[in-house]
């Protein structure tokens, strides 16, 4: 079996190659990120991916399980990121649902656990960082 479109996309993302990742989308392709941001159309997807990758020094994704039915791919993924400020976020669980089309990715939805954007840090909130996790006050 050829490499899945999810694996191909994550290859571009892990290389921090916005253009390679965006080029996989159809002209009217849609993207929903784990933090709820949305884009429709290749240029809007490129802008969203550029914003996402700008917060990163490095990115690694590991597909732990994957299924395909016709033109739909579903994958369980572990994501590890090193942010520009050197913080590391490791083994974040992700679920990818990708609908492929003849012109490229028609729709990609990435799900996680109600996360904030990667580069965002809590402001004005009491609490502390323990390792890579924000712990609110009790």
Q: Give the residue among 31, 75, 29 at the shortest CA–CA distance from 53.
A: 31
The string of pLDDT tens digits covering residues 40-59 is: 999 999 999 999 999 999 99
For residue 35, what pLDDT band results from cuts at 50, 70 and 90? Answer: confident
The string of pLDDT tens digits covering residues 88-97 is: 999 999 999 9
Tell me the CATH number of domain 5-114+130-135, given options 3.10.450.50, 1.10.10.10, 3.40.50.2300, 3.40.50.2000: 3.10.450.50
Lowest mean pLDDT among 54-63, 101-110, 119-128: 119-128
For residue 9, what pLDDT band results from cuts at 50, 70 and 90? Answer: very high
Determine the Cα–Cα distance for residues 48 and 120; give it in Å rounded to an integer. 15
Determine the Cα–Cα distance for residues 3 and 19; give it in Å rounded to an integer. 19
What is this structure's pTM? 0.81
């Amino acid at each position: 079996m050829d490499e899945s479109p999810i694996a191909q996309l994550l290859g571009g993302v892990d290389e921090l190659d916005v253009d390679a990742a965006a080029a996989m989308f159809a002209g009217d392709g849609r993207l929903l990120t784990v933090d709820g941001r949305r884009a429709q159309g290749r240029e809007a997807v490129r802008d969203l991916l550029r914003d996402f990758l700008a917060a990163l020094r490095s990115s690694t994704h590991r597909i732990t399980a994957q299924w395909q039915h016709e033109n739909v791919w579903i994958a369980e993924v572990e994501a590890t990121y090193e942010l520009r400020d050197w913080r590391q976020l490791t083994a974040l669980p992700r679920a990818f649902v990708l609908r492929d089309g003849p012109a490229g990715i028609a729709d990609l939805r990435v799900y996680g656990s109600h996360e904030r954007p990667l580069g965002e840090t809590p402001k004005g909130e009491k609490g502390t960082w323990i390792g890579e996790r924000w712990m609110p006050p009790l």
